[in-house]
Amino acid sequence: MTWGYVFRRLAMFFAVVLAATTVNFIVPRLAPGDPTAAVLEQLLSRGQQVEGAQDIVANYRARFGLDDPMLVQYGRYLFNSLRLDLGSSISYFPQSVTSAILAALPWTIALLSVSTVIAFGLGSLIGALLAWPGSPRAVHRLAPFLMVLSAIPYYLLALIVLYLLAIWTGWFPLGGAYSVFPNGFSLPVLWDLAYHAFLPALSIVLAGLGFWALGMRGAMINVLGEDYLALAEAKGLKKRRIFFKYAMRNALLPQVTALAIALGTAASGSVLVEVAFNYPGIGYLLYNALRSSDYFLIQGVAFFLVITVAFAVLVLDLLYPLLDPRIQRL
Amino acid sequence: MSDTVLKVSDLTVQYPTASGSFHATRNVSFSLQRGERFGLVGESGSGKSTTILALMRMLKGGLVSSGSLELNGRELTGLDDEAFRKLRFAEMSLVPQGAMNSLNPVLRIGAQIGDIYDDHSVRHGGAERERIIGDLLTRVGLSPEVQRRYPHELSGGMKQRVCIAMSIALTPSLILADEPTSALDVMVQKQVLATLGRVQRDIGAAIILIGHDMALMAHFVTTLGVMYRGELIEVGPVRDVFSNPQHEYTRMLINSLPSFDRQARFIKAAHQEALP
């Protein structure tokens, strides 16, 4: 891997974060009117008396720096974002937006990274076996089942899973992420966390499995027609080696690209899963923020989501040349 | 040990199709002596590649409906798949047609050659393996350094040389070369073919070369077989076939070669037609 490649990827990462921060800054300011004035007008329209309404608006404008030129506001916003100072949350009031997000983030990252990696790995393996002529007959029977699975929305899947495995059988908890809030990591604590994470993870894995399997199947069929596969067979290599090192290794390349994209949708797509399972992650936080019109928190969550997705893409970009030696030439 | 490396008798390959079975080859028989160079020519679809694929047991969808294949005195048709896998490249190797895409793009050349040893239970230490692969690459006119490269870093001719190096890794007694130079330009074709001929002589293997370039073929092989519509219609020493072709199709193939005096006749004929 060349330093130029690493540098370009890093520059791309910062460019994406900067662009996201800028959009985050601009969008609320495109809305007509003044936030303080809007609240006051609402009060007035209900027939309430507000003494010195003009002064209050002016006061707040000065306090939030809204009278400064746009560029000064923008610079201040960037600087604050850089320090992760995203203001105070309205719905979690004494808490700052940053601390509310940092409390929720580990739950989402742990749940999503584990379940996405499982879905990706398992789905790719099944997809590869679906296309492989030497795989057992039972695997081929999975294909229609996976297609159905990939067509069911994940939140519906979450409800089905919840009903079957938590309400009906009672094997798993209805929601939450822990029985007692964990202090430190011991084996029983980890077991409790895994026990609570199992159902949300299962619904994410099930929903993703079909997507990964079908994508891999298509990529694999293409690779199986390549000349290097015929030569690998002619070389007298063992089937297992041809499958993993020659066929699957190459078919995985487009899958990894898709993984970078999927991580983006997965982060925001987990919102409803977390809501369904009462899981205290980013999705649940965002849901609450939306319900209580907590604009600062919504903005903050969007900012963090962009950063995590950009970071995940950066990591994949840096790993990609290890998977495909041709890429560092670009 | 007998001098006959390969004996093909009455090889018939059929492809089942919706409108009955199609005979890709019909009763093909020939045999090869140690070190012999056997050329197979014929138009596309005449059964040349099918013959080679049947030998390697790599027919996709086709089946050998009759005939026998005897390699080094051993009958191949009844062999189980695992035994056949071990025999590939150890006794009979293949130089593929599409040199450009025949190497795995994500593995270094050294690893791709090393795989052959690993799956044929040939164990080496790390340094020894590197030296052996380096030697192999040197023999086909490449630098030992090439083993650390990826396929996309090599030219088409270099890739085909790597394929030739692979084909002699386990010193087989038979090399099958399916139009090994058709993807290369004319200058490189000659050099690569010369390399193939040299290493083949070095290890004393017999070779079956498929091609449709009659001129290139005439220089390389000792025996020539002509295939037409799935049948081997003519076999003989290359000189005899050229000087005294027995079959009408062979005569047509030879006449299709450009030659100086015929070129003059063509030009003359063209001029006469152009003038009213």
Q: What is the pLDDT of residues A250-293, one digit of tens each?
A: 999 989 888 877 776 676 667 788 888 888 888 888 888 888 77
- Determine contact: B56 vs chain A, CB below 8 A: yes
A contacts of B102 (beta carbons < 8 Å)? 227-228, 230-231
- Determine contact: A235 vs chain B, CB below 8 A: yes
B contacts of A235 (beta carbons < 8 Å)? 88-89, 115-116, 119, 166
Residue A22 to chain B, least CA–CA distance (Å): 40
ipTM, 2 decimals?
0.88
Put simply, the chain A residues between 89 and 148 with a CB less than 8 A from any chain B CB are: none
Average pLDDT, chain B: 88
Put simply, the chain A residues between 190 and 229 with a CB less than 8 A from any chain B CB are: 226-228
The per-residue pLDDT for A35 is: 62
Residue B153 to chain A, least CA–CA distance (Å): 9
Answer with the residue of higher pLDDT: A182 or B145: B145
- Determine contact: A236 vs chain B, CB below 8 A: yes
Rounded-to-integer distance, Cα B170 and Cα B203, Å = 10
The per-residue pLDDT for A330 is: 47
Nearest to A245 among B56, B100, B107 (CB): B107
Over the range B215-252, which residues count as b (16 or more CB within 10 Å of their CB) and which as e?
ebbbebbebbbbbbebbbbbbbebeebbeebeeebbee
Write the pLDDT tens digit of every residue in A29-43.
Answer: 776 666 666 667 777
Rounded-to-integer distance, Cα A101 and Cα A301, Å = 7
Tell me the pLDDT band of A328, cut-offs 50, 70 and 90. Answer: low
- With an 8 Å Cβ cutoff, are A234 and B107 in contact? no
Least Cα distance to B142 among B124, B167, B159 occurs for B159
Provide CB contacts within 8 A for B53, sequence distance 6+: B59, B60, B62
State which residue of chain A sits closest to B178, comparing Cα positions: A231
- Determine contact: B218 vs chain A, CB below 8 A: no
Report the pLDDT averaged over residues A157-181: 78
Residue B164 to chain A, least CA–CA distance (Å): 12
Report the pLDDT averaged over residues A112-133: 90
Provide CB contacts within 8 A for A119, sequence distance 6+: A204, A205, A207, A208, A209, A211, A212
Q: How many angstroms from the chain centroid is the CA of residue A81?
A: 20
- With an 8 Å Cβ cutoff, are A228 and B120 in contact? no
Strand B20-33 with B4-17, pairing: antiparallel
Domain boundaries, given as residue ranges, for chain B: 4-271
The per-residue pLDDT for B263 is: 61
Q: Please report which residue ranges of chain A form alpha helices under DSSP H.
A: 3-30, 35-45, 53-63, 70-82, 97-131, 137-151, 154-162, 187-224, 227-234, 239-241, 249-269, 271-276, 282-291, 295-323
Q: Is B183 helix (H, G, I), strand (E, B) or coil?
A: coil
Report the pLDDT averaged over residues B15-19: 88
- Determine contact: B93 vs chain A, CB below 8 A: yes
The per-residue pLDDT for A294 is: 75
Answer with the residue of higher pLDDT: A225 or A60: A225
- Winning range, highest mean pLDDT, from A289-293, A325-329, B139-143: B139-143
Q: Report the predicted TM-score, pTM, of the whole model to 2 decimal places.
A: 0.81
User: A243, A256 in Cβ contact below 8 A?
Assistant: no
A contacts of B85 (beta carbons < 8 Å)? 236-238
Answer with the residue of higher pLDDT: B118 or A266: B118
Residue B264 to chain A, least CA–CA distance (Å): 43
Q: What percent of chain B stands above pLDDT 70? A: 93
Neighbours of A240 (CB within 10 A): 10
Residue B89 to chain A, least CA–CA distance (Å): 5
A contacts of B96 (beta carbons < 8 Å)? 227, 230-231, 234
Q: Tokens standing for B254?
A: 């030879």
Q: Is A191 helix (H, G, I), strand (E, B) or coil?
A: helix
Q: What percent of chain A stands above pLDDT 90? A: 18
Please return the burial class of A254, using the count of CB atoms within 10 Å of its CB with bins 0-12, 13-18 and 19+.
middle
The per-residue pLDDT for A201 is: 85
- With an 8 Å Cβ cutoff, are A235 and B87 in contact? no
- Winning range, highest mean pLDDT, from A105-109, A110-114, B54-58, B185-189: B54-58
* Residue B260 pLDDT > 70: no
Count Cα atoms within 13 angstroms, Cβ side, for A24: 24
Residue A117 to chain B, least CA–CA distance (Å): 22
Residue B246 to chain A, least CA–CA distance (Å): 35
A contacts of B160 (beta carbons < 8 Å)? none
Answer with the residue of higher pLDDT: A34 or A190: A190
Least Cα distance to B164 among B142, B149, B185 occurs for B142
The per-residue pLDDT for A289 is: 83
The per-residue pLDDT for A267 is: 67
A contacts of B88 (beta carbons < 8 Å)? 233-236
- Determine contact: A329 vs chain B, CB below 8 A: yes
- With an 8 Å Cβ cutoff, are A236 and B58 in contact? no
Say which range, A141-145, A229-233, B232-236, has the weakest mean pLDDT.
A141-145
Nearest to B115 among A227, A230, A237 (CB): A237
- With an 8 Å Cβ cutoff, are A236 and B105 in contact? no
Report the pLDDT averaged over residues B23-47: 91
Least Cα distance to A252 among A143, A158, A125 occurs for A125
Say which range, A128-132, A154-158, A186-190, B186-190, has the weakest mean pLDDT.
A186-190
- With an 8 Å Cβ cutoff, are B105 and A228 in contact? yes
Tell me the pLDDT band of B262, cut-offs 50, 70 and 90. Answer: low
State which residue of chain A sits closest to B84, comparing Cα positions: A236
Instruction: Report, at the CATH architecture level, how domain B4-271 is classified.
Output: 3-Layer(aba) Sandwich (3.40)
